[in-house]
Amino acid sequence: MDTVRPIQKIIFGSPGTGKSYQIRTIATEQLGIALEPTTHALQKTVKTVFHPEYTYSDFIGKLQPLTQGGTIIYKFHPGHFLRALGLAYKELISGEENHCLLVIDELNRGNAAAIFGSVFQLLDREADYWSSYEVDVSELEIVGLFTAMGHKATISNDGILQIDGSNFDNFYRQQERELTSNRDGLRILNLLKQRKISIPKNLSIIATINTSDESIYYLDSAFKRRWDWDFVEAPQRFAEIPELIEQTKLIIEEGKTLEWQWCIISLNEFILRNYQNIRRIEDKQIGWWFIMPNSGVIDIQIIKDKLMFYLWDSVFDKDKKPLEKLLSEYLKKPIQLRTYADFVRHTKSFMLAVYDDTPF
């Protein structure tokens, strides 16, 4: 059986373009990861979302207090990375090569360099798809990893690592006998004996980032070069239109509707025409799913509540002149937008102006 190449990729693009949905497609079609029959969630997958308070301990693992019989004890809880690594190790030790997946949403909303810590070194891969290097981990992190693999792991009072009620040396010898012909399993076992970890060939990591958000952490070039990058383009003219979007109407007012698909395409073309006024134009447009239709309808109120603020605060945050020019030409009178209230007051006119301004 040919080894499926693991994926180490960052997906980026405009908001609402379906980046998270694309992860599901990659997982099922390229990695062979199945969906849970009832929840339709991806199997063998660990998901997390980075944020400014997310730390290395959240990612790798940490000690947490637990009350047991009136006594406070401390238990090591594996973090998202160790849980994903444990799933992948368990698959290989069992003789399977099923792929596992770690999904990181909003990668750059946390301090990725600090969160990954020494794990950063593991992102380099060799021709066999394993990490080029190994990193040392603590005894507690080994406990967390074995826990993630489905074992009962503890450290005894005399400091000996116990796996399933047996000390580690006995556990190692038994596993070594059972894994004689399992090269990957033996490799994992020897890594753990040395208190080291490495990313295996059956663990993929897919992340998403939102570069349109200015309040984010910077990703340095050393970090970025260890990933493949996949840009999800915003809807443009001649793009394939999802059936739900094709059937959706924007209700401007009673008795007046617009085709929502053309509202999106018109708005993106308006944004592109004003590229000189907009920083990072490639991800300042909107995707099909920026606003979810409700029974085939988009109400003008959600345009006021969500879309108008996004345009004001994120897209045209540096220069409001394109907005003023469009409205002035449509209403045939000078329009000044001094505050957001001025802009949102013209919501209906703005949507009609954008729609009429784009020849189809």
Model confidence pLDDT, tens digit, residues 54-102: 999 999 999 877 777 777 777 889 999 999 999 999 999 999 889 999 9
Whole-number pLDDT of residue 1: 47
Rounded to whole angstroms, how far apart are CA atoms 165 and 175? 14
**Looking up tokens 């991806």, which residue turns up?**
42
Whole-number pLDDT of residue 210: 76
**Widest CA span in the chain:** 85
Which tens digit of pLDDT belongs to each residue from 146-165? 999 999 988 887 778 889 98
**Looking up tokens 């929840």, which residue turns up?**
39
CATH topology for 8-231?
Answer: Rossmann fold (3.40.50)
Number of Cβ within 10 Å of residue 10's Cβ equals 22
| Positions in the chain whose pLDDT score sits under 50 | 1
Q: Which residues pair with 9 in a beta bridge?
A: 206, 228
Q: Which residues pair with 208 in a beta bridge?
A: 11
Q: Which two tokens stand for residue 14?
A: 């405009």
Which tens digit of pLDDT belongs to each residue from 292-325? 999 999 999 999 999 999 999 999 999 999 999 9
Whole-number pLDDT of residue 228: 95
Q: Where are the domains of the chain?
A: 8-231, 235-357
Q: Residue 238: CB partners within 8 Å, gap ≥ 6?
A: none
Q: Which long-range contacts (CB under 8 A, 24 or more apart) does 298-307 make?
A: 298/248, 298/249, 298/250, 298/251, 298/260, 298/263, 299/251, 300/250, 300/251, 300/252, 300/253, 300/347, 300/348, 300/351, 303/250, 303/347, 303/351, 304/344, 304/347
- DSSP assignment of 146-215: HHHTT--EEE-TTS-EEETTEEHHHHHHHHHHHTTT-HHHHHHHHHHHTTEE---TTEEEEEEE-TT-SS
Whole-number pLDDT of residue 360: 60
Q: What are phi and psi of 278, to 5 degrees?
A: -125, 130
Find out whether 91 and 97 touch, Cβ atoms under 8 Å: yes
Rg (CA), the chain: 26
- Give the SS3 label for residue 18: coil
Whole-number pLDDT of residue 158: 79
